[in-house]
Structure 1
Amino acid sequence: MWKIAVLLPLPPEVIDLLFAPLKDRADVVLPPSRDRAGQHAALAEADLAVGDFTGELPMDAAAVAAAPRLVLLQQPQVGVDSCDLDALTDAGVAVANTAGANTRSVAEWAVGAAFALCRKFAWADRRMREGGWPQLEIRGRELHAQRVGIVGYGAIGAEAARLFHAIGCRVSYWSRTPKDDAVGEYLELDELLATSDVLVVAVALSPETTGLIGPERLALLPPDALLVNVARGGIVPDEAVLAALDSGRLAGAALDVFEREPLPSGHPLLSHEQVLLSPHAAGASAQAQMNVIGQVMANLTAVLDGRPVEHVVNGLPPLVRRR
Structure 2
Amino acid sequence: MAAALTDHYLEQHGYEVITADDPSEEEILKLAPDAAGVMMISQPLSNAIYDQMPNLKVLARRGVGYDNIDVDFAAQKGVWVTNTPGANARAVAEAALMDILVLARQIPQTRVKTRQDGWVAAHELLGHEVGDATVGIVGFGHVGQLLAKMLTGLGARVLIYDRHPRTTDEGTFVDWDDLFRQSNYVSLHLAAVPDTIHSVGAHEFGLMPDGAGLVNLARGSIVDEPALIAALRDNTLGGAALDVFEQEPLPADNPLWTLPNVMVTPHIGANTLEANRTMSLTAARMIDEVLTGKQPEYAVNAPVLG
After TM superposition, the score normalised by the length of structure 2 is 0.90
Give CA-to-partner distance per residue, 1:125-149, whole Å, 9 cap, x none. Answer: 4444564323531111111111111
Equivalent residue pairs, number = 304
| Distance in structure 1 (CA, Å) of the matches to 2:201 and 2:122 | 35
Counterpart pick for 2:62 among 76, 95, 109:
76
CA distance in 2 between partners of 1:173 and 1:287 (Å): 27
Matched-pair contact (CA < 8 Å) for 1:124–1:134: no
SS of 2:135's equivalent in the other structure is: strand
Larger RCO, structures 1/2 (Cα 8 Å, 6+ apart): 2
Partners of 1:230 and 1:282 within 8 A in 2: yes
CA offset at residue 217 of structure 1?
1.9
Aligned to 1:167: 154
Q: By how many angstroms is 1:211 displaced?
A: 0.5
Unaligned runs of 5+ in 1: 1-12
Aligned position for 1:197: 184
90 and 246 in structure 1: CA distance in 2 versus 1, 3 angstrom threshold: same
Partner letter of residue 83 of structure 1?
I
User: Deviating runs (4+, > 6 A) in structure 1?
Assistant: none
Query: Please, which moves more after superposition, 21-30 or 91-100?
Result: 21-30
Q: Equivalent residue of 1:172, what SS?
A: strand
| Pairwise CA distance, 1:313 | 1.3
**Correspondence for 1:44 among 10, 16, 33:** 33
Alpha-carbon offset, residue 257 of structure 1: 0.7
Three-state SS of the structure 1 residue aligned to 2:296 is coil
Alignment partner, residue 98 of structure 1 = 84
- Structure 2 alignment gaps of length 5 or more: none
The residue type equivalent to 2:73 in the other structure is A
2:283 aligns with: 296
Return the offset for 1:18.
Answer: 4.0
- CA apart distance, 1:14: 8.7
Displacement of 1:220 after TM fit? Answer: 1.2
Q: Which has the higher helix share?
A: 2
Are 2:99 and 1:110 equivalent residues in the alignment? no
Greater Cα offset, 26-35 or 271-280: 26-35
Q: SS at 2:297's partner residue?
A: coil
Which of 193, 199, 215 does residue 212 from structure 1 map onto? Answer: 199
Of stretches 14-23 and 93-102 in structure 1, the one that deviates more from structure 2 is: 14-23
**Worse-matched range after superposition: 164-173 or 14-23:** 14-23
User: Where does 1:127-206 land on structure 2 (aligned, <5 Å)?
Assistant: 127-128=113-114, 131-181=118-168, 183-206=170-193
- Calculate the aligned-residue CA RMSD, in Å: 2.5
Does structure 2 retain, via aligned residues, the 8 Å contact 1:127–1:133? no
1:30 and 1:109 mapped to 2: Cα distance? 29
Q: Provide the identity percentage.
A: 31
Deviations 1:229-249 (A, max 9, x none): 111002112211111111211
1:100-133 Cα shifts (integer Å, max 9, x gaps): 1110111111111111111122333444456432
User: Structure 1, residues 159-216: CA drift from partner, whole Å, max 9, x if none?
Assistant: 1111111111111111111123362111111111111111111111111100101112
Taking the aligned partners of 1:179 and 1:94, their CA distance within structure 2 comes to 31
Match for 2:273: what amino acid?
A
Secondary structure of 1:23 counterpart: helix
Moved more, 207-216 or 307-316: 307-316
Mapped to 1, the partners of 2:138 and 2:4 lie a distance apart of 40
1:67 and 2:53 equivalent?
A: yes
Question: Aligned with 2:177: secondary structure?
Answer: helix
